[in-house]
Amino acid sequence: MRGREKLFLLLGIIAAIGLSFASGAFNRYYLGIVIDVGINIILAVSLNLINGHTGQFSLGHAGFMAVGGYVAAKLTLVCGASAWIFLPALLLGGGVAALAGLAVGVPSLRLRGDYLAIVTLGFGEIIRVIFQTSEFFGAATGLTGITRLTTFGWAWGLAAVTVYVVACLVNSTYGRGFIAVHDDEIAASAMGINPVRYKVTAFVIGAFFAGIAGGLYAHHKGVLTPSGFDFIKSIEIVVMVILGGMGRTVGVILAAVILTILPELLRGVAEYRMIIYSLLIIGLMLTRPQGLFTFGKK
Amino acid sequence: MTDWFLQQLINGLALGAIYALIALGYTMVYGVLRFINFAHSDVMMLGAFAAFYLTPPVAGMLGEQSVWTALVVILLSAAICAVIGMTIEFLAYRPLRKRPRLTVLITAIGVSLFIEFTGQHEKVFGAATKSFPKLLPSRDIVIGALHLSSNDIVVLVLTAVLLAAMWFIVQRTKIGMAMRAVSYNEQAAALMGVNVNGIISFTFGLGSALAAVAGIFYAMRAPGIDPLMGIQPGLRAFIAAVLGGIGNLPGAALGGIVLGLLETFFGGMPGLSNYRDGIAFAILILILLFRPAGLLGKLQTEKV
């Protein structure tokens, strides 16, 4: 099992970097969408660790993404943009986002269900307000002129790493604890599992990858505005996880791909996009609350 | 200094009264169904829009800026929103009654987004901000250095009346007793002959009507109305409900007033106004950490 996963990881990274060299041959518009898909896979899979595998409903993922994006972008803006600084910038962004995850996780994980959802929403909003008022991060206008360093190879290579890390973690002996906490917290703690530690771990790891995705996003779009990381952004990621089926890695990846491409296909009816989105959520919850791409056993 | 203090006090009370009205809806629904009705803030927005469209024709019949026009518009808007609230419950929440709470929560977010984005569509309300018609003749009352808007006083008095009416309905009427019974134990209430579906429907209707009134009051004080106007006061009101102890009616009123005052005072201080948006959430996080049951709530231990 483990050998197969490693092989997938290697193949994924090699394919990503290999295709990246040929990316000049593709249409820039399509290439941009494909990179978006890679970034969204990172976001959805990392949120899936929190929401799906560990069962802690978080509505603040865009906040962690914002932290990673701003930190990474500020670093490349200050130190000058080069391929050598990009990886450290991404890692730093992820690291600071992970710290934010720790700061959010430790106090709020004593709460459950809808309370947790509201508190994470609140933290996401507070993070946004901080960026919006901070002159250092460009206040309401945000950061502009970020060098576009994100390539196909970076986005999909890191997406492969994310999927690998999350899948291996959840399938490891340690990682069974996440699922135990998800299934029954009280029974899990009776078995000697510390639910709070698992929840915080899930938050920190999830936030780390969200931060990486934020860094990729910043260096893909070239601009960052605080309003881009609002509640709606968090909801978009949550919908990917719900649509794919909470705790189903393959389903969530599929959902991330579809939900990124779908709006581009729906350009003609862009004004209905969010209406369709919300009806999708309601319809899904009424008919298939377990998600769309959930075939066979977990 | 005292003038500044009194001025902020009045502003804070008027804002807090509106939060309290919205918070009552959250807390009543939480009381009977144990879930956060995310769409509540959008019902409030619909209330403001109902008044926006109703005011010109009603004013044509009963006269511009008269008390009767205001009363009829408020009552009609409340009735419309009550029907909308009951419909939402019937279509989206009732089929999910026995499902996990998280499923219902996600559905509620879906309903909320649906109302917001349908409202933003140009064929419905449009995304642009509209100026809200003057319902009442508004007069500035000047006492020394104090500027009071007559609207603020109307809002305060009407809120107090509505809060008293709510207390009467819940504590002194038969249907209120049934609401409390459903909140305490749904199954036992059903066995005692309470029509649980009817009571839940009634609760949604009542909460939505209050939200509509709050929406109109909010619109009267705000520069304009738009389909997303409900989000911020809605979140604040939810926080107010948690602050007072969710499921607890006097708690919701108290939480609303406290939150309105804190926000106005902190927001009015120099240097802090930029962080005004964050204050409510900071309060929420503090209250959940130190007194998760809220100011007036009782802590319930979870049984295995």
H or E element: which one contains A217?
Answer: helix A195-221
Residues of chain B contacting residue A235, judged by C-beta atoms under 8 Å apart = 109, 113
Rounded to a whole number, what is the distance in angstroms from the first to the last CA of chain B?
55
Question: Does some domain include residue A54?
Answer: yes
Higher pLDDT, A104 or A62: A62
Question: Does some domain include residue A97?
Answer: yes
> Which chain B residue has the Cα nearest residue A231?
B231
- Closest to B197 (Cα-Cα) out of B104, B99, B94: B94
Q: Which domain holds residue A134?
A: 2-229
- A197 — contact with chain B (CB < 8 Å)? no
Task: Please name the residues between 44 and 73 in chain A that touch chain B, using a CB distance below 8 Å.
Answer: 57
Which of A121, A122, A271 is nearest residue B121 as measured by Cβ atoms?
A: A271
pLDDT averaged over chain B? 85
Whether the predicted pLDDT of B82 surpasses 90:
yes
Which of A118, A129, A238 is nearest residue B36 as measured by Cβ atoms?
A: A118
Identity at B208, one-letter amino acid code: S
Distance CA A185, CA A167 (A): 21
Residue corresponding to tokens 């009542």: B206
- Closest to A222 (Cα-Cα) out of A39, A76, A46, A29: A76
Residues A23-29, mean pLDDT to the nearest whole number: 71
Residue B203 CB neighbour total at 10 angstroms: 26
Higher pLDDT, B209 or A180: B209
Question: Does some domain include residue A286?
Answer: no
Question: Does some domain include residue A252?
Answer: no
Confidence class for position A1, pLDDT limits 50, 70, 90? very low
Question: Does some domain include residue A283?
Answer: no
Whether the predicted pLDDT of B57 surpasses 70:
yes
Residues of chain A contacting residue B122, judged by C-beta atoms under 8 Å apart = 271
Question: Does some domain include residue A94?
Answer: yes
B97-to-A135, A248, B193, B200 alpha-carbon distances in Å: 48, 25, 19, 11
Answer yes or no: do A278 and B113 touch at CB < 8 A.
yes
Answer yes or no: do A282 and B102 touch at CB < 8 A.
no
Question: Does some domain include residue A276?
Answer: no
> Which chain A residue has the Cα nearest residue B277?
A129
| Tokens encoding A44 | 């959805």
Mind listing the pLDDT tens digit for each residue in B211-221? 999 999 999 88
Whether the predicted pLDDT of B274 surpasses 70:
no
Residues B34-47, mean pLDDT to the nearest whole number: 89
> Do A179 and A186 form a contact (C-beta atoms < 8 A)?
no
**Closest CA of chain A from B27, distance in Å:** 13
Surface-to-core class of residue A23, CB atoms within 10 Å of its CB (0-12 exposed, 13-18 middle, 19+ buried): middle
Residues A118-123, mean pLDDT to the nearest whole number: 81
> Do B237 and B41 form a contact (C-beta atoms < 8 A)?
yes
Give pLDDT, residue A197.
Answer: 85
Pick from A129-143, B30-44, B227-241: least confident:
A129-143
Confidence class for position B296, pLDDT limits 50, 70, 90? confident
What ipTM was reported for this prediction? 0.79
Mind listing the pLDDT tens digit for each residue in A236-247? 888 888 888 877
Answer yes or no: do A281 and B277 touch at CB < 8 A.
no
Count of domains in chain A? 1
Answer yes or no: do B92 and A108 touch at CB < 8 A.
no
Give pLDDT, residue B19.
Answer: 92
Distance CA B60, CA A231 (A): 41
Confidence class for position A206, pLDDT limits 50, 70, 90? very high
Which of A242, A277, A279 is nearest residue B106 as measured by Cβ atoms?
A: A242
Quickly list H helices, chain B: 2-33, 40-62, 67-88, 101-120, 150-172, 174-184, 186-191, 196-221, 231-244, 249-268, 276-290
- A282 — contact with chain B (CB < 8 Å)? yes
Interface of B with A (CB under 8 A): 35-36, 92, 95-96, 99-107, 109-114, 117-118, 120-122, 231, 235, 238-239, 242, 274-275, 277-278, 281-282, 284-285, 288-289, 292, 302, 304
B302-to-A180, A186, B186, B299 alpha-carbon distances in Å: 18, 10, 18, 10
> Do B240 and B36 form a contact (C-beta atoms < 8 A)?
no
Alpha-carbon Rg for chain B in angstroms:
19
Distance CA A252, CA A51 (A): 11
Residues of chain B contacting residue A130, judged by C-beta atoms under 8 Å apart = 278
**Hey, where are the domains in chain B?**
18-228
Strand, helix or coil for residue A120: helix
Distance CA A91, CA A97 (A): 10
Give pLDDT, residue A25.
Answer: 67
**Closest CA of chain B from A279, distance in Å:** 7
A203-to-A188, A214, B244 alpha-carbon distances in Å: 18, 16, 29
Residues B30-48, mean pLDDT to the nearest whole number: 88
Question: Does some domain include residue A133?
Answer: yes
Give pLDDT, residue A2.
Answer: 54
Distance CA A248, CA A240 (A): 11
Pick from A68-72, A85-89, A261-265, B109-113: least confident:
A261-265
Answer yes or no: do B109 and A235 touch at CB < 8 A.
yes
Residues B194-209, mean pLDDT to the nearest whole number: 93
**Closest CA of chain A from B228, distance in Å:** 12
Confidence class for position A296, pLDDT limits 50, 70, 90? low
Mind listing the pLDDT tens digit for each residue in A82-104? 777 888 888 998 999 999 989 88
